Amino acid sequence: MTSDELIDRARITDHILRYATGIDRRDWALYRSIFTDRMTPDFSSWSGEPALAMSADDWVAGVRATLEPFDATQHVLTNFVITVDGNSASCTCYMAAHHHLVSGDLREMHSIGGYYVHELQRSGDGWLIHRTTLNVTWEMGDRGLFERAALRATKNDGFSRV
């Protein structure tokens, strides 16, 4: 492997890790910065909805509305397999996502695991994701936690961050 290939792999790995960092730190500008302006998220294994091309701004707004009401989230990405072909690249990585909601003494968690396939394009010195596919292989907890988090957001009763 050449030094240029190693540099690309390191840049892609760092870039993909910003996916989890942006979400979990609620740094929506960081999360937005990892995508091309138009991108295609495919979360059909989770939602059952087909993949649709959309603006990255709309995607980030939807993720923010879904995850920000949780008290905490933790997205873990591991086992990166990266293929670079000129100005295109693919990165497959394992994932686990934990979503926490606290209400009084009740602490609830929902987790999913599986793997992402991110397709990237070279942009200047870096890389941007233009398609991301989530492949859920396991799930634990009550999916209704997402509805309860959304309800909390509509009540505008504040968030008790853990």
Six token digits for residue 89 = 């690249």
Beta pairing, strands 72-85 & 88-103: antiparallel
3-class secondary structure per residue, 38-74: EEEEECHHHHCCCCCCEEHHHHHHHHHHHHCCCCEEE
pLDDT tens digits along 99-128: 999 988 889 999 999 999 999 999 987 999
pTM of the predicted model as reported, rounded to 2 decimal places:
0.91
Q: Can you give the pLDDT at residue 159?
A: 47
Measured between alpha carbons, how far is 104 from 43 in angstroms, rounded to an integer? 32
Which one-letter DSSP state was computed for residue 86? T
Nearest-angstrom CA–CA distance, 73 and 71: 7
Domain 3-155, what fold?
Answer: Nuclear Transport Factor 2; Chain: A, (3.10.450)
Ramachandran category for residue 79: left, alpha or beta (phi over 0 → left; psi -120 to 50 → alpha): left
Q: What is the pLDDT of residue 153?
A: 81
Structure tokens of 103?
């209400």
Q: Mean pLDDT of successive 10-residue segments in the chain (162 residues)? A: 92 96 98 98 95 97 96 97 97 98 90 98 93 98 93 68 44
The token pair at 18 is 């910003």
pLDDT, residue 155, reads 77
What are the residue boundaries of the structural domains of the chain, listed by start? Answer: 3-155
Based on the number of CB atoms within 10 Å of its own CB, is 83 exposed (0-12), middle (13-18) or buried (19 or more)? Answer: exposed
> Which pair of structure tokens corresponds to residue 44?
């059909």
Angstrom CA distances, 135 to 33, 41, 123, stand at: 23, 11, 26
